[in-house]
Structure 1
C-alpha cells in the first residue's frame, strides 16, 4: 500500500508540474499578517493567514492567501490574492489577479496595470490603468470608476453614469481570465486537449495502481448517483469552510496548507473518477467493458459538453460531485475496514 501511495503521489507531482516562478524572498503566516504602516518590505512577499493586510509598502510582488486580503498601502509590483474578500484601498502599481467571494477596488484605490478577477461580487470605484477582465455574479462600476483600457465582463453589470471607460466595453460569456492553459495566450481547444491528456494520465495511474478500488468507485457512482453526488456536494461546500477555520489560528495554518493540497487533489481525482464512471456507463450501452475505453470516452464526453454555454459547466460540476462523493464513500468503506464486493468488479 505504501508503494502504491508513493507512486500516485509521484505521478501527481509530475502531472501538476508547471514552470515555477522564482520563490518569494519573504514568507509570512499567521492568524493575521500585517505589513504595518511605515514598514517597507524590499522584496517579494507571500502571505498565508486568516487576514492579510498591507498598510505599508512592498517593493515587489505580493501573493496572498487568506480569508481576507486588504491593500491599504502600496504594492510596487503585482498582486495575486486568493481570499473570501479582496479589497484594494491603496495602490498596486502592477497587475492585480484576484479570486474570491468579493472584490472591491475602493474609491481612491489605484491599479496601475490590468485587473483580472473572478468573484461572486465585484465593485470598482477606483482607477484601473489598463484593461479589466471580470467574471462575477454581480458587477458594479461606481461613479468614480476609471478604466484606462477595455472592460471585458461576464455577469450582471451595473454601470453608474459617471463611470469612465477609455476602451471598449464587451460582454464575453465565460470570460477567459488567463489563469493557466486556456487563457488568452492559448485557444480554448488547446486547453481542452491539454486537460484531456493530463486527466487521462492521472486516470490511467489510478486504474493501474488501484484497479479494484477505481472500479468500485465507478460502480458506486453509477449504482447510487444521488447519494454519491449528495456526499460530493457536502464535501465541496464543507471542506473549504473547515480550511478557513484552520487558517484563523497559528497552529492550524500548517494543517490548513496541507488540507488545501489534499482538497485540490481530491477534486482532481473526483473529476476524473466521475468522468470514468460516465464513460463506463456509455461504454456499457455499447457493450464494451474496457476500462481504458471508459476512461477515454468519459473524459472526451465531459470535455466536449464543456463547450456548451451554461449546460456544459453544470454537467461538469455534476460529474465532479458524482466522482468526489463516490471517491469519499469508497475511501470510507475501504479504510474503515469494511469489505466491499463492488471493489472486486471491473468495468
Structure 2
C-alpha cells in the first residue's frame, strides 16, 4: 500500500501539472489499454470505464461508475461516481458523493464527504475545512484546521485539528484519538471516555503528530521508517504543481530567467547574494521604524516565498541544462519539462543525505534562482543599462 499510495499521489500531481497549462482548451480524452485520461478547462463526465480513470480540469465533475481506481484533480472537484477500487481526489474545493469500494484519499482547502459517500475501506483526509458525513467502514485519518465529524466510523479514528466538532450522526466504534491544543468534551454517543485518547498539541508538534497518523492500527498507510518519504511526496507534489503553474502562466518569462542562469551562473550567484541580503536586511530595517513592526511577519513570509521560488527556479534551470547537455530537446513540451523538474527535485533530495554537500547544493540553487529574479526585477524597473551604453557609445557618421 505505501508504494501504491505514493504512485497515486504522484499521478494526481502530474494531472494538476498537465491540466493547468490546458485551461481554456477543449476537453481531450486519451485511452491507454483499459485506462482513460481526460483533461480540459471544464469536464462533466459520466464514467463507464473498466480500468483506472484520470480526470484533470479546472472544474471536474465525475458521475457514473469507475471499475478501477479513480483519480480526480482540479480547482473545483465533485465526484458522484461510484468507485469499485480506490478514489483519489485533489483540489481547492472537493465534494464527494459516490460510494467507494476500497480506500479514499482526498485533499483540499474545503473538503466534504456527503452521507452517500460510503467508504468500505480506510479514509485519509487533509484540508483546511474538513466535513465528514459519509460512513467509513475502516479507519479514518483526518488532518485539518476545522474538522466536523458527522458519520459512523467502524474502525479507529485519528484527528489532528485546530477545532473539532461532532454532529448527531457521529459514532466511533473503535478508538478515537484527537490531537489539539486543548481538550474538548467528546459526547458519550460518539465514543465512551474509555475509548477516547487526547494528545495535547503545540504548534511545534503539528508535523510530528501528522506523521504519527500513519502509524494508526488498521490504517495501511505508511510504515514508521517511511515518514520521511511521506513528507518528500508532499513536497514533490507541491513543487511540481508550482512548476506547472509557472509554465502555464508565464512560460516566456520563466524561459528568459532560465537562460540568464545558464548564460552567466557566476553573475547570477552574485545577484542572488545581493538579493537575499536585501530581503534579510528588510527585517531589522522594518522593525526599527516602529510603525513597521506589524509588517515584519509579512516580510518574513516574503523571504520564505522568495527562498522557495528561488529554489524551484534554480533546480529547474540546472535540470534543463543537464537535460539539454545529454541531448534532450531544448524546446520540450510542458509535460517533459515537468518530468525533468520532478527528477531534479528527487536527485536534490537524495543529496541531502550527504552531509554538507546537500546543504551547499540546495543553497546554491536558491542563490541562482533569487539571482535570476533579482536581475529580472532590476531590468524591469531601471532598464538594461548595457543596451543604453551600446547606443550612447555608437560612433556617429560625419
TM-score w.r.t. the length of structure 1 is 0.56
Decide which of 302, 327, 344 is 1:230's aligned counterpart: 302
2:114 aligned partner:
106
Bigger CA radius of gyration: 2
Distance 2:169 2:231 in 1: 44
Which of 55, 58, 64 is residue 56 of structure 1 equivalent to?
A: 64
2:44 pairs, out of 22, 34, 41, with: 34
Matches of 1:330 and 1:19, distance apart in 2: 34
Counterpart position of 1:249: none
Deviation at 1:154, TM superposition (A): 0.9
Question: Displacement, 1:212?
Answer: 4.5
Matches within 5 A, 1:51-200: 51-142=59-150, 145-155=151-161, 156-172=163-179, 173-174=206-207, 175-176=210-211, 184-187=222-225, 191=229
Instruction: Tell me if structure 2 keeps the 8 A contact 1:42–1:60.
Output: yes
- Kept in 2, the 8 Å contact 1:24–1:46? The answer is no
Change (3 A) 1:41 1:34: farther
Whole-angstrom distance in 2 between the partners of 1:23 and 1:220:
51
* Contact 2:40 2:58 survives alignment (8 Å): yes
* Alpha-carbon distance, 1:192 to partner: 10
Tell me, yes or no, if structure 1 residue 332 matches structure 2 residue 376: yes
Q: What is the root-mean-square deviation in Å for CA atoms of aligned residues? A: 5.1
SS at match of 2:174: coil
1:162–1:293 distance in 2 versus 1, CA, 3 Å: closer
**1: CA distance between counterparts of 2:113 and 2:378?**
49
Does the 8 Å CA contact 2:141/2:159 hold for their aligned counterparts? yes
Structure 2: segments with no counterpart, 5+ residues? 1-6, 12-31, 180-205, 215-220, 237-260, 283-298, 310-332, 387-398
Residue 24 of structure 1 deviates from its aligned partner by 7.5
Return the offset for 1:325.
8.4
Q: Which has the higher contact order (CA 8 A, sep 6+)?
A: 1
For residues 100-143 of structure 1, give each alpha carbon's deviation from its aligned partner in whole angstroms, at most 9, with x where no partner exists.
1111111222111111121111001121121111111100012x
Instruction: Report the Cα distance in structure 1 between the residues aligned to 2:108 and 2:91, rounded to whole angstroms.
Output: 5
SS of the residue corresponding to residue 296 of structure 1 reads helix
Residue segments in structure 1 that go unaligned for 5+ positions in a row: 1-16, 199-205, 238-255, 277-291, 303-319, 341-347
Question: What's the secondary structure of 1:167's corresponding residue?
Answer: coil
CA distance in 1, matches of 2:384, 2:34: 46
User: How many residues are paired up?
Assistant: 250
Tell me what 1:241 maps to: none
Matches within 5 A, 1:200-211: 210-211=265-266
Pick aligned residue for 2:276 from 201, 209, 221: 221
**Partner Cα separation in structure 1 for residue 231 and residue 75 of structure 2:** 34
Mapped partners of 1:188, 1:146: distance in 2: 30
Deviation at 1:323, TM superposition (A): 7.4
Q: 1:20 & 1:100 partners in 2: Cα distance?
A: 16
- The CA distance in 2 between the partners of 1:327 and 1:81, in whole Å, is 37
1:43 aligns with 2:98: no
